[in-house]
Structure 1
Amino acid sequence: VDLMRDDYIEKDRSRGIYFTQDWVSLPGVMPVASGGIHVWHMPALVEIFGDDACLQFGGGTLGHP
């Protein structure tokens, strides 16, 4: 997740980075977990992303409380 703060990222397949990414002067980005997640996924997502991320809960939470 700290990769999101770097301006330039080298390809490193061992870390799951399959393309060199040159962000140049793009504004900062925030990692987001979204799509089919619900409240029971939250502990694992916080462990993966830390507490500096956006967890977008929608229909998975509203439709399946």
Structure 2
Amino acid sequence: MGRYEEAIDPLIKALQDQNAMVRPGATRSLGDIGDARASDALTYLASNDENADVRSIPLGR
């Protein structure tokens, strides 16, 4: 089990949070972790999130 294993699912859920301050942090964290389970959600948000901060976050390291 990876170091961040327990954080992946809650962070993926946080990508759907209505609070515009939550999604950028979750996006950065998941991008840094690099777990494949978040790939589809991160790719979608990079193109479609209403928050420009989320759309501009580079995915992965």
Per residue, is there more strand in 1 or in 2? Answer: 1
In the superposition, the TM-score normalised over structure 2's length comes to 0.26
